């Protein structure tokens, strides 16, 4: 591996602040599906809205339709069938899932009162619990942005692999198909080092601590030049994880130099790196196969893998 001849500050200045697509912010299909599964229970619970004697009405409803309790955790934006509550000297676990409930009906009424759900339903703040839960699900789905963000970067990088003329050779299940280890001009998604070693007969002990550590690459490219293991990530915000990632990939790059026929490629981007620039600089200076999205737009993969 040769020392990087590019200017680090210029390279870092090309980083993009965001790569969010239209479907990054909310997965509405998921939110709708999660709401619809409670449609019957929510319609029953709607009978409590505006009630003047909500506790007794709730207890009567639970007695007749105990399954309405299953939706209660969602009403407080919790994805769990058991909700623990700690008060001084006492821990109470409220079981909401399943057919058999472990708490007394009055316990659930106390839960509804203490969490503020009765007040919310009594005071006409909401007029339809189905609409309310849809809003809760949209809010909960924001937690999925981290995973979607990771997939956004992977999808972008895969697009550039295809643009370079490479063909994918494994399915969504990530198992290798069309098993020809001699084929070149192809890429594979999410391969573990053990699979790579058995399929291509390459010794990756330098990066697996002599086989004691299993490593997974986001993409593996096979060309006439050899094998390339690609890692991708995008950081819009800072944090200690960036320094850890940079150090880890610096070690990976150095270890990969000792593996004949193998190169490590790192594609990273995002404004979060501005706060961890010093650690990133250290990796950049010893690794000439570290790239940003701007370089992929300019055809880096075609030059690296095809020409």
pLDDT (tens digit, 9 = 90+) per residue, 62-120? 999 999 999 999 999 999 999 999 988 899 999 998 777 778 999 999 999 999 999 99
Residue 143's Cβ-count burial label (10 Å; 0-12, 13-18, 19+) is exposed
Lowest mean pLDDT, pick from 39-43, 94-98, 153-157, 198-202:
94-98
Lowest-pLDDT range of 121-125, 207-211, 299-303: 207-211
Geometric angle at alpha carbon 81, from 77 and 83, rounded to 5°: 70
pLDDT for res 2: 59
* CA quadruple 240, 245, 246, 248: dihedral, nearest 10: 130
Using alpha carbons, select from 151, 73, 172, 161 the residue that is nearest to residue 117: 73
Q: What is the mean pLDDT of the chain?
A: 92
**pLDDT per residue over 144-194, tens digit each?**
777 777 789 999 999 999 999 999 998 766 777 667 899 999 999 999 999
- Write the CA distances from 106 to 42, 62, 89, 113, 293, integer angstroms: 20, 10, 21, 10, 58
* C-alpha distance from residue 123 to each of 15, 53, 119 (Å): 50, 12, 6
What is the reported pLDDT for 29? 94
pLDDT over 70 (residue 59) = yes
For the entire predicted model, the pTM comes to 0.77
Structural domains of the chain, ranges and CATH numbers in brackets: 8-23+144-306 (3.40.1350), 28-143 (no CATH)
Question: Whose CA is closest to 74, among 127, 31, 27, 44?
Answer: 31
pLDDT at 209: 87
Alpha-carbon gap, residue 95 to 82, rounded angstroms: 5
Judging by beta carbons within 10 Å of its beta carbon (0-12, 13-18, 19+), is residue 200 exposed, middle or buried?
middle
- Both tokens of 139, joined, read 């809010």
pLDDT above 70 covers what percent of the chain? 98
Q: Return d(Cα 69, Cα 251) in angstroms, integer.
A: 52
Distance of alpha carbon 45 from alpha carbon 117, whole angstroms:
11
pLDDT band of 143, cuts 50, 70, 90 = confident
pLDDT score of 128 more than 90: yes
Task: Report the pLDDT averaged over residues 258-280.
Answer: 96
Contacts of 239 (CB under 8 A, 6+ apart): 272, 275
Contact 229, 262 (CB under 8 A): yes
Q: Evaluate if residue 210 carries a pLDDT over 90.
A: no
The pLDDT of residue 215: 94
């Amino acid at each position: 591996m040769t020392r990087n001849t590019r200017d680090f500050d210029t390279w870092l200045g090309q980083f993009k602040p965001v790569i969010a697509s239209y479907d990054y912010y909310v997965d509405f299909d998921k939110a709708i599906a999660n709401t619809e599964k409670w449609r019957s229970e929510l319609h029953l619970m709607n009978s409590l809205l505006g009630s003047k004697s909500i506790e007794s009405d709730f207890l009567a409803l639970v007695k007749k339709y105990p399954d309405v309790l299953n939706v209660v955790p969602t009403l407080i934006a919790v994805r769990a069938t058991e909700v623990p509550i700690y008060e001084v000297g006492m821990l109470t676990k409220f079981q909401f899932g399943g057919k058999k409930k472990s708490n007394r009906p009055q316990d659930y009424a106390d839960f509804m009162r203490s969490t503020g759900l009765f007040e919310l339903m009594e005071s006409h703040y909401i007029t339809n619990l189905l609409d309310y839960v849809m809003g809760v699900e949209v809010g909960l789905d924001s937690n999925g942005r981290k995973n979607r963000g990771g997939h956004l970067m992977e999808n972008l990088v895969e697009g550039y692999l295809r643009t370079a003329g490479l063909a994918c050779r494994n399915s969504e299940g990530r198992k290798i198909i069309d098993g020809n280890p001699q084929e070149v001009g192809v890429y594979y998604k999410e391969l573990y080092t053990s699979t790579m070693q058995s399929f291509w007969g390459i010794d990756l002990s330098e990066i697996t601590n002599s086989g004691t550590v299993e490593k997974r690459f986001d993409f593996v490219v096979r060309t006439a030049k050899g094998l390339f293991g690609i890692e991708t990530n995008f950081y819009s915000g800072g944090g200690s994880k960036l320094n850890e990632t940079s150090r880890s990939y610096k070690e990976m790059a150095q270890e990969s130099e000792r593996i004949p026929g193998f190169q490590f490629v790192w594609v990273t981007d995002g404004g979060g790196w501005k706060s961890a620039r010093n650690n990133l600089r250290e990796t950049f200076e010893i690794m000439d196969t570290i790239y940003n999205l701007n370089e992929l737009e300019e055809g880096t993969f075609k030059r690296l893998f095809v020409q």
